[in-house]
A and B are shown apart, each in its own frame.
Chain A
Amino acid sequence: MPELNKLSILEAQAKMEAGEITAVDLARACLPEIEKNNKELNIFLEVFSDVEAQAAEADKRRAAGEKHPLLGIPLAIKDNILIEGRTASAASKMLEHYVATYDATVIKKLKEAGAVFIGRTNMDEFAMGGSTENSAYGATKNPLDPTRVPGGSSGGSAAAVAAHMALGAIGTDTGGSIREPAAFCGLVGMKPTYGAVSRSGLIAMGSSLDQAGPLAHSVADTEAIFNTIRGLDALDSTTITDTTYPKATLKKKIGVPRHLLKEGVDKDVLRLFEQSLEKLKAEGYDIVNIDLPSAPLALSAYYVIMPAEVSTNLARFDGVRYGLSTKGTTLADDYAVTRAEGFGAEVRRRIMLGTYVLSAGYYDAYYGKAVAVRNAIAKEYSAALANVDAIAVPTAPSVAPKLGEKSDPLSMYLLDVFTVTANITGHPAISLPMGTVDSLPVGLQLTTAMGDEATLFMLGKLLER
């Protein structure tokens, strides 16, 4: 039999529909791959013990006449997404033994579709990082080159798909955490429009920025997952409907903010970027230069707004109702020692930074200004996207760094320079493989108008041909 774990989701689905293979066969193709390589690559924090039973259940549902693109498809789930009755630790010591008491909406929808959950994947602690080195359970290695990082924070999810341990994966993206690992692992990864996918049941990082989304080998697979998990949800009042934003009309134009590419981008990455633009030109698209005057401030605004939301969201971890609980000398001390013991260095750094930018005397200078800049950037993006179908930039300025290479926090943050903008503005964005530099993959990022994932998928399929 061919290697079933290397099929795309849609190929595997067609084979199951044709009765050539079963979901149990697919699960049995993925599990040995994990058995063989997970120890070295540290991709899964836990492989679920009931994978074959889940697959058998999917086969039963198919036999009863059910159909869905994800029925019986093995997926890897990031460790910050709640699945009832299973551990969800956000790769933190704080939640090492936390068992989810309900399903995230994303999970509920995937269960209804009949997807099979292989296990929970490693990540940067509480999704804070761009390399998966900030996990409390050790770094994940890039399956394409184990001396390098897989990107992050959804590094385990990306690596699981790249290593063919699952056919697709769910990640979360607060500043590029789906798109950057997708680029570093040679995959397609998409951050939906803010509100397209419910955040109910995601362990929150930056609530005005977080979105869950798919990682897979092809654009069509990514689309199939997105179509399954999207939709209005009473449990997340920021979710949107199909009519929240006006439908986009095709302009046959791609905008490139050349002024953002002048420095800091690897020249081989730029060469591949230009090749992708040539491909789009050959498909009849005009490549036009656009100006986004506030965009150079996006990273600064992001690293004010995100830590502010982090310090607020993570205030809930106090050792009283769930999670790690360590006793100090007083009640206030209980909180402080629990948090010191439970949180890793990067999480502590961001809580402190967030506390600073929100504190009296600094609020106006940092948080207030960052929100004003955020609004300006959003306006500029929306204005640009009224004239072009998509804005194109490289997903990351370089290939995946070596493990330990970016030890200074600021140099790690700079990897997010092209991805944070879509979280700041809420626009949907996709990372598509655009070739390799010394056999390491790099990604092309496209951003479209609010609610217009359809154009991302359409352009992605053009470039995939």
Chain B
Amino acid sequence: MISIEEIRNLSALARLTLTPAEEEALSKDISNILDYVGQVSAVTDGRRAPSAAAADGALLRNVMRDDIPTKTLGDRESLLNAFPKREGDFNVVRKILDKDAGAQ
């Protein structure tokens, strides 16, 4: 059983605010799911570890491209328009540095 404490730790890692009711429901759900998927942890025979398998993967190859700009993610203006809060050509984000903090 995953404890409420563990759920709180996970939600902090996952940057996800949860209500106490959600914490409780998730501790139950995730415990149930882990009981089921835990079957994979029991595998101890010769099935290979990922690193060994990756080494001989026929499809593992480097894919390189020339460093030439192309239109891929759309034009500048539409990307700027996607900002939650736009001011001119800037994305308005929370201030995280205090101007006076360094002087103290």
Contact = CB atoms under 8 A, between A and B. Distances in A.
Interface stretch (A15-23, A275-283, A337-345): A337-345
Nearest to A302: B37
B91 A320 contact: yes
Could you say which of B18, B43, B93 has the most chain A C-beta atoms within 10 Å of its C-beta? B43
A349 B33 CA distance: 10
B16 A370 contact: no
Interface residues of B, number: 48
A242 to B, nearest CB: 15
B91 A373 contact: no
Interface string A357-370: 00100000110111
B40 A297 contact: yes
Contact of A331 (B2, B41, B59, B94): B94
Contacts of B41: 365-366, 369
A59 interface: no
Contact of A369 (B18, B36, B40, B73): B40
Contacts of B104: none
Interface stretch (A50-58, A97-105, A433-441): A97-105
Interface string B32-56: 1110111111010001111001000
A355 B10 contact: yes
A319 interface: yes
Nearest to B71: A102
B15 interface: yes
A311 B63 contact: no
A304 B83 contact: no
Contacts of B39: 297, 300
A209 B25 CA distance: 28
Contact of A300 (B16, B36, B94): B36
Which label, helix, strand, loop or mixed, suits the secondary structure of the A interface?
Answer: helix
A217 to B, nearest CB: 34
Given A101-B79, A409-B33, A370 B40 contact: yes
A354 to B, nearest CB: 8
B72 A304 contact: no
Contacts of B38: 300, 366
Contacts of B29: 349, 409
A372 B48 contact: yes
A119 to B, nearest CB: 21
Contacts of A301: 37, 40
A325 B85 contact: yes
B43 A369 contact: yes
B78 A99 contact: yes
Interface size class of A (residues with CB under 8 A): 35 or more
B34 A356 contact: yes
A318 interface: yes
Contacts of A331: 94, 96
A371 B33 contact: no
A432 B15 CA distance: 42
Nearest to B9: A359
B98 interface: no
Given A101-B82, A304-B40, A369-B40, A343 B91 contact: no
B75 A339 contact: no
B78 A375 contact: no
A336 B16 contact: yes
A323 interface: yes
B42 to A, nearest CB: 8
Nearest to A100: B74
A321 B8 CA distance: 27
A332 interface: yes
B40 A410 contact: no
B67 to A, nearest CB: 13
A195 B83 CA distance: 32
Which of B15, B30, B71 has the most C-beta atoms of chain A within 10 angstroms of its own C-beta? B15
A1 interface: no
Nearest to B39: A300
Given A237-B63, A244-B59, 16 more contacts: A102-B71, A195-B59, A240-B59, A300-B38, A336-B16, A339-B14, A339-B17, A343-B16, A352-B7, A352-B11, A353-B30, A353-B33, A355-B14, A365-B41, A373-B43, A375-B48
28 contacts: A99-B78, A99-B82, A101-B79, A244-B59, A297-B39, A297-B40, A303-B33, A320-B91, A321-B84, A322-B84, A336-B11, A336-B17, A337-B17, A339-B14, A348-B16, A349-B26, A352-B11, A353-B34, A355-B10, A356-B30, A359-B10, A366-B40, A368-B50, A369-B40, A369-B43, A375-B50, A375-B53, A410-B33
